[in-house]
Each structure stands twice: as structure tokens, then as C-alpha cells.
């Protein structure tokens, strides 16, 4: 299972609404995804392209996805997190990803290398 980190601090420029859009995104995702590990975090350092999530799992590539709207992109995030969870290495097939994810992937980060114990 992949972990979905959701920035709950995200707010769009000029949007003073409370709860913040990031918190609304986290709440909406949490309500619809009992099968996923969803964790709130504060700031994924993608503030100018918020809202932001990161999808990660041990031994897999991590994806950062931005420009998410809590009212428009919940299904996109859930679909991508499930694709990531089902993949062997986190590298999902590009054309199977939701369009929003294809167009708003901010970065991907390779899995941590396995630490070799000294012999």
C-alpha cells in the first residue's frame, strides 16, 4: 500500500477560506479512501502550486503532484495513489494516470538505495 501525504497547510494566493484548501483536500480524501494510508503533513515546499500531495512507498519512486483543487481533483488523487500502490516500483503507466496528474506532476524522486551493512 502506498502512503498519500497531503499538505494541510496549502492555500491558494488570495484565498482566505477556512478550513484551508489543503485541509479540505485531506478531509475529502480521508472520507473516500479507507483502503489507503493518508497522512497529513505541513508544507511539501510546493506552496505556489498548491494544493499538493506526495505518493510514496518503500522501494518505490515518490511522486509530488500539485495544483490540486479540493473540490475537483479528489478522484484523480485517489486513482493515482491506487495505481502507485499496485505498481512494482511506483512508475505507473503514463497514459493510465489521470490527466490532472499527468499535467501537474511537480517531481518524482527515486527510491532510497538499500543500505549495505559493513562486512
Site residues, ligand FES (CB under 6 A): 7, 9-10, 22, 43-47, 50, 52
Instruction: Name which of 42 and 117 has its Cβ closer to ligand FES.
Output: 42
Instruction: Name which of 22 and 90 has its Cβ closer to ligand FES.
Output: 22
Instruction: Name which of 6 and 81 has its Cβ closer to ligand FES.
Output: 6
Least separation, in Å, of the C-beta of 48 and ligand FES?
8
Least separation, in Å, of the C-beta of 42 and ligand FES?
7
Instruction: Give the C-alpha separation, 30 to 6, whole Å.
Output: 10
3-state secondary structure the chain: CCEEEEECCCCCCCCCCCCCHHHHHHHHHHHHCCCCEEEEECCCCCHHHCCCEEEECCCCCEEEECCCCCCCCHHHHHHHHHHHHHCCCCCCCHHHCCHHHHHCEEEEECCCCCCCCCC
Least separation, in Å, of the C-beta of 115 and ligand FES?
29
Instruction: Name which of 67 and 79 has its Cβ closer to ligand FES.
Output: 67
Least separation, in Å, of the C-beta of 92 and ligand FES?
22
Amino acid at each position: 500500500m502506498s502512503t498519500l501525504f497531503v499538505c494541510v497547510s496549502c492555500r491558494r494566493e488570495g484565498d482566505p477560506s477556512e478550513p484551508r484548501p489543503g485541509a479540505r483536500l485531506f478531509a475529502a480524501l480521508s472520507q473516500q479512501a479507507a483502503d489507503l494510508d493518508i497522512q497529513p503533513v505541513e508544507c511539501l515546499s510546493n506552496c505556489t502550486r498548491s494544493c499538493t500531495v506526495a505518493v510514496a512507498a518503500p522501494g518505490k519512486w515518490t511522486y509530488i503532484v500539485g495544483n490540486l483543487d479540493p473540490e475537483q481533483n479528489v478522484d484523480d488523487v485517489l486513482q493515482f495513489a491506487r495505481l502507485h500502490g499496485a505498481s512494482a516500483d511506483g512508475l505507473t503507466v503514463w497514459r493510465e494516470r489521470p490527466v490532472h496528474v499527468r499535467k501537474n506532476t511537480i517531481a518524482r524522486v527515486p527510491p532510497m538505495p538499500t543500505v549495505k551493512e559493513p562486512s
